[in-house]
Amino acid sequence: MIAIPAIDLREGACVQLVGGSYDAEKVRVKDPIDALKRWRGFGFSTFHVVDLDAALGKGSNMEVITRLLGHEPGITFTVGGGVRETARVEAVLASGASYAVVGTRAIEDTAWLSEMASRFPGRVVVAADVKGREVVTRGWTAGSARDVADVLAVLDPLPLGGLLVTAVHKEGQMGGVDLPLMQEVVRGCRHRVYASGGVTTLEDLRALAEAGAYGAVIGMALYTGTLDAATVAREFA
Protein backbone atom coordinates (compact mmCIF):
# COMPACT_ATOMS: atom_id res chain seq x y z
CA MET A 1 0.00 0.00 0.00
CA ILE A 2 1.14 3.54 -0.70
CA ALA A 3 0.58 6.62 1.44
CA ILE A 4 -0.69 9.61 -0.51
CA PRO A 5 -0.48 13.15 0.89
CA ALA A 6 -3.55 15.26 0.19
CA ILE A 7 -3.28 18.71 -1.36
CA ASP A 8 -6.73 20.28 -0.93
CA LEU A 9 -7.12 23.62 -2.70
CA ARG A 10 -9.23 26.53 -1.57
CA GLU A 11 -8.88 30.11 -2.82
CA GLY A 12 -5.49 29.22 -4.29
CA ALA A 13 -4.12 27.89 -0.99
CA CYS A 14 -3.59 24.37 0.37
CA VAL A 15 -5.96 23.75 3.29
CA GLN A 16 -7.25 21.08 5.62
CA LEU A 17 -10.86 21.09 6.79
CA VAL A 18 -12.45 19.31 9.75
CA GLY A 19 -15.31 17.07 8.68
CA GLY A 20 -15.38 18.70 5.26
CA SER A 21 -16.85 21.89 6.72
CA TYR A 22 -15.73 25.13 5.07
CA ASP A 23 -16.32 26.82 8.41
CA ALA A 24 -13.77 24.53 10.09
CA GLU A 25 -10.50 25.20 8.31
CA LYS A 26 -7.61 24.11 10.50
CA VAL A 27 -4.57 24.28 8.21
CA ARG A 28 -3.62 26.72 5.45
CA VAL A 29 -0.44 26.75 3.35
CA LYS A 30 -0.46 29.88 1.20
CA ASP A 31 1.40 28.34 -1.75
CA PRO A 32 0.46 24.71 -2.51
CA ILE A 33 3.83 24.24 -4.22
CA ASP A 34 5.41 24.59 -0.77
CA ALA A 35 3.28 21.69 0.47
CA LEU A 36 4.26 19.60 -2.55
CA LYS A 37 7.96 20.33 -2.01
CA ARG A 38 7.69 19.48 1.67
CA TRP A 39 6.17 16.05 1.08
CA ARG A 40 8.45 15.34 -1.89
CA GLY A 41 11.38 15.98 0.42
CA PHE A 42 10.33 13.00 2.52
CA GLY A 43 10.10 10.75 -0.54
CA PHE A 44 6.37 10.73 -1.33
CA SER A 45 5.73 10.42 -5.06
CA THR A 46 1.94 10.14 -5.34
CA PHE A 47 -0.40 13.00 -4.41
CA HIS A 48 -4.15 13.54 -4.26
CA VAL A 49 -5.21 17.02 -5.34
CA VAL A 50 -8.77 18.27 -4.74
CA ASP A 51 -10.26 21.55 -5.96
CA LEU A 52 -12.60 22.29 -3.06
CA ASP A 53 -13.92 25.49 -4.64
CA ALA A 54 -14.88 23.68 -7.84
CA ALA A 55 -16.55 20.92 -5.82
CA LEU A 56 -18.94 23.47 -4.35
CA GLY A 57 -19.26 25.58 -7.49
CA LYS A 58 -17.44 28.49 -5.83
CA GLY A 59 -14.65 28.92 -8.35
CA SER A 60 -11.70 27.05 -9.81
CA ASN A 61 -8.11 26.35 -8.83
CA MET A 62 -7.19 24.94 -12.23
CA GLU A 63 -4.29 27.38 -12.61
CA VAL A 64 -2.80 26.12 -9.34
CA ILE A 65 -3.42 22.51 -10.36
CA THR A 66 -1.57 23.08 -13.63
CA ARG A 67 1.38 24.51 -11.69
CA LEU A 68 1.44 21.52 -9.35
CA LEU A 69 1.26 18.99 -12.17
CA GLY A 70 4.03 20.71 -14.10
CA HIS A 71 6.34 21.24 -11.15
CA GLU A 72 8.41 18.07 -11.44
CA PRO A 73 8.37 15.05 -13.78
CA GLY A 74 7.78 11.55 -12.51
CA ILE A 75 5.12 12.36 -9.91
CA THR A 76 1.74 10.60 -9.90
CA PHE A 77 -1.27 12.86 -9.33
CA THR A 78 -4.92 12.03 -8.84
CA VAL A 79 -6.97 15.19 -9.38
CA GLY A 80 -10.60 15.75 -8.44
CA GLY A 81 -13.10 18.27 -7.17
CA GLY A 82 -15.87 19.54 -9.43
CA VAL A 83 -14.94 17.18 -12.29
CA ARG A 84 -18.46 16.89 -13.69
CA GLU A 85 -18.08 17.64 -17.39
CA THR A 86 -16.32 15.80 -20.19
CA ALA A 87 -14.20 18.87 -20.94
CA ARG A 88 -13.02 18.97 -17.32
CA VAL A 89 -11.96 15.32 -17.41
CA GLU A 90 -10.07 16.00 -20.63
CA ALA A 91 -8.43 19.13 -19.18
CA VAL A 92 -7.32 17.39 -15.98
CA LEU A 93 -5.74 14.50 -17.86
CA ALA A 94 -4.21 16.77 -20.50
CA SER A 95 -2.62 18.86 -17.73
CA GLY A 96 -0.62 15.85 -16.60
CA ALA A 97 -2.78 14.09 -14.04
CA SER A 98 -2.42 10.33 -14.02
CA TYR A 99 -6.03 9.96 -12.92
CA ALA A 100 -9.12 12.17 -13.02
CA VAL A 101 -11.30 11.71 -9.95
CA VAL A 102 -15.02 12.06 -10.58
CA GLY A 103 -17.55 12.09 -7.79
CA THR A 104 -20.93 13.77 -7.99
CA ARG A 105 -21.74 13.17 -11.65
CA ALA A 106 -20.27 9.67 -11.54
CA ILE A 107 -22.76 8.80 -8.80
CA GLU A 108 -25.68 10.63 -10.39
CA ASP A 109 -25.13 9.79 -14.08
CA THR A 110 -23.91 6.24 -14.68
CA ALA A 111 -24.21 6.56 -18.47
CA TRP A 112 -21.80 9.52 -18.50
CA LEU A 113 -19.39 7.70 -16.19
CA SER A 114 -19.46 4.66 -18.45
CA GLU A 115 -18.62 6.88 -21.43
CA MET A 116 -15.71 8.51 -19.57
CA ALA A 117 -14.35 5.16 -18.40
CA SER A 118 -14.52 3.80 -21.93
CA ARG A 119 -12.81 6.87 -23.42
CA PHE A 120 -10.09 6.90 -20.77
CA PRO A 121 -9.80 3.29 -19.57
CA GLY A 122 -7.89 2.92 -16.34
CA ARG A 123 -7.57 6.68 -15.85
CA VAL A 124 -10.88 7.56 -14.18
CA VAL A 125 -11.17 7.09 -10.43
CA VAL A 126 -14.61 7.32 -8.85
CA ALA A 127 -14.90 9.16 -5.54
CA ALA A 128 -17.47 7.53 -3.31
CA ASP A 129 -17.84 9.85 -0.34
CA VAL A 130 -19.60 7.98 2.44
CA LYS A 131 -21.33 9.39 5.50
CA GLY A 132 -22.39 6.48 7.69
CA ARG A 133 -23.25 4.17 4.80
CA GLU A 134 -24.86 6.71 2.49
CA VAL A 135 -22.92 7.99 -0.51
CA VAL A 136 -23.02 11.80 -0.50
CA THR A 137 -22.32 14.24 -3.32
CA ARG A 138 -21.81 17.91 -4.19
CA GLY A 139 -18.92 18.54 -1.86
CA TRP A 140 -20.50 16.33 0.83
CA THR A 141 -23.55 18.63 1.05
CA ALA A 142 -26.16 16.40 -0.64
CA GLY A 143 -27.34 12.89 0.14
CA SER A 144 -27.90 10.35 -2.62
CA ALA A 145 -30.12 7.95 -0.62
CA ARG A 146 -27.86 5.16 -1.96
CA ASP A 147 -26.00 2.65 0.16
CA VAL A 148 -22.32 2.24 -0.61
CA ALA A 149 -22.82 -1.45 -1.45
CA ASP A 150 -25.37 -0.54 -4.14
CA VAL A 151 -22.98 1.97 -5.68
CA LEU A 152 -20.15 -0.58 -5.71
CA ALA A 153 -22.31 -3.03 -7.63
CA VAL A 154 -22.94 -0.45 -10.36
CA LEU A 155 -19.27 0.49 -10.65
CA ASP A 156 -17.86 -3.01 -10.66
CA PRO A 157 -18.04 -3.79 -14.42
CA LEU A 158 -16.56 -0.45 -15.58
CA PRO A 159 -12.90 -0.10 -16.69
CA LEU A 160 -12.01 2.29 -13.88
CA GLY A 161 -8.63 3.28 -12.51
CA GLY A 162 -9.85 2.78 -8.99
CA LEU A 163 -12.29 3.78 -6.30
CA LEU A 164 -11.56 6.48 -3.75
CA VAL A 165 -13.65 5.92 -0.64
CA THR A 166 -13.75 8.76 1.87
CA ALA A 167 -15.34 8.21 5.26
CA VAL A 168 -16.72 11.73 5.55
CA HIS A 169 -17.74 11.15 9.16
CA LYS A 170 -14.03 10.58 9.96
CA GLU A 171 -12.51 13.27 7.75
CA GLY A 172 -10.13 15.70 9.43
CA GLN A 173 -10.99 14.56 12.93
CA MET A 174 -7.89 12.42 13.55
CA GLY A 175 -9.95 9.81 15.34
CA GLY A 176 -8.95 6.79 13.29
CA VAL A 177 -10.32 5.23 10.12
CA ASP A 178 -13.63 3.45 9.52
CA LEU A 179 -11.94 0.09 9.10
CA PRO A 180 -15.12 -2.02 8.76
CA LEU A 181 -16.25 0.23 5.89
CA MET A 182 -12.93 -0.07 4.09
CA GLN A 183 -12.77 -3.83 4.61
CA GLU A 184 -16.27 -4.17 3.14
CA VAL A 185 -15.39 -2.01 0.15
CA VAL A 186 -12.22 -3.98 -0.63
CA ARG A 187 -14.12 -7.27 -0.38
CA GLY A 188 -16.93 -6.03 -2.61
CA CYS A 189 -14.87 -4.29 -5.26
CA ARG A 190 -12.54 -5.60 -7.98
CA HIS A 191 -10.96 -2.16 -8.49
CA ARG A 192 -8.06 -0.60 -6.65
CA VAL A 193 -9.35 0.99 -3.46
CA TYR A 194 -7.94 4.24 -2.16
CA ALA A 195 -9.00 4.88 1.45
CA SER A 196 -9.45 8.34 2.92
CA GLY A 197 -10.77 9.86 6.11
CA GLY A 198 -9.42 9.71 9.63
CA VAL A 199 -5.94 8.29 9.00
CA THR A 200 -4.14 9.24 12.22
CA THR A 201 -1.56 6.60 13.18
CA LEU A 202 0.81 4.09 11.66
CA GLU A 203 -1.57 1.44 13.01
CA ASP A 204 -4.34 2.95 10.85
CA LEU A 205 -2.12 2.64 7.79
CA ARG A 206 -1.08 -0.89 8.62
CA ALA A 207 -4.70 -1.90 9.18
CA LEU A 208 -5.71 -0.47 5.80
CA ALA A 209 -2.80 -2.29 4.15
CA GLU A 210 -3.89 -5.51 5.85
CA ALA A 211 -7.44 -4.91 4.61
CA GLY A 212 -6.14 -4.76 1.04
CA ALA A 213 -6.35 -1.06 0.27
CA TYR A 214 -4.13 0.02 -2.62
CA GLY A 215 -3.51 3.48 -1.20
CA ALA A 216 -4.36 5.69 1.77
CA VAL A 217 -4.85 9.43 1.43
CA ILE A 218 -3.50 11.36 4.42
CA GLY A 219 -4.30 14.97 5.19
CA MET A 220 -4.72 16.47 8.63
CA ALA A 221 -2.42 14.04 10.47
CA LEU A 222 0.50 14.92 8.18
CA TYR A 223 -0.10 18.66 8.14
CA THR A 224 -0.38 18.88 11.93
CA GLY A 225 2.58 16.59 12.57
CA THR A 226 0.47 13.98 14.34
CA LEU A 227 1.91 11.48 11.89
CA ASP A 228 5.66 11.66 11.38
CA ALA A 229 6.11 12.11 7.65
CA ALA A 230 9.56 10.52 7.53
CA THR A 231 8.34 7.39 9.32
CA VAL A 232 5.30 7.09 7.07
CA ALA A 233 7.39 7.58 3.94
CA ARG A 234 9.88 4.90 4.96
CA GLU A 235 7.15 2.30 5.29
CA PHE A 236 4.53 3.39 2.76
CA ALA A 237 5.95 5.81 0.18
Residues that are catalytic? 8, 129
Beta strands in 52-161 (DSSP E): 76-80, 99-102, 124-131, 134-137, 142-147
User: Cα–Cα distance between 237 and 233 in angstroms, integer?
Assistant: 4
For residues 46 and 59, is the Cβ–Cβ distance under 8 A? no
Instruction: Point out which residues pair with 28 in neighbouring strands.
Output: 15
Alpha-carbon distance of 72 to 105, in angstroms, equals 31
SS3 content of the chain, % helix, strand, coil (to 5): 40, 30, 35
What does the alpha-carbon distance between residue 28 and residue 13 come to, in Å, rounded to a whole number? 7
Which one-letter amino acid corresponds to residue 20? G
